[in-house]
Amino acid sequence: MYRDESRREVIAVSHHLRQQTEKSDFPNDCLADYVTPKSSGKADYLGAFAVTGGLEEDALAEAYDARHNDYDKIMVKAVADRLAEAFAEYLHERVRKVI
């Protein structure tokens, strides 16, 4: 990853593992397979998004934990996790339709 569009100063290198499951009909993919090689002379970009099921989820779960209420603690974490997962799927769908 480079500092700016001049692509002269490297600010980070991202390492990715190849999928480890055995496959007979297609190769084991890696995120690096989808990055344009520098030798191509073409610019490539990296994008990311982060989602959450709520900024106060941990504090609420800890409050339940302090009262020894394991059920509500687990439910808060489960609901927040599902909300974050659903929002990530929604954003992924939007990105696929735009591109």
Classify residue 61: in a domain, yes or no. yes
Classify residue 13: in a domain, yes or no. no
Which residues neighbour 11 within 8 Å (Cβ) at sequence distance 6 or greater? 1, 2, 3
Q: DSSP class of residue 19?
A: P
Question: For residue range 9-24, what is the model confidence (pLDDT) as tens digits?
Answer: 999 998 888 888 887 8
Classify residue 54: in a domain, yes or no. yes
Domain count, the chain: 1
Question: For residue range 49-93, what is the model confidence (pLDDT) as tens digits?
Answer: 889 988 999 999 999 999 999 999 999 999 999 999 999 999 989
Lookup: tokens for 7: 């692509």
Helix (H, G, I), strand (E, B) or coil at 16: coil
**Torsion of the alpha carbons at 10, 12, 13 and 15, rounded to the nearest 10:** -170
Classify residue 42: in a domain, yes or no. no
pTM of the model: 0.60
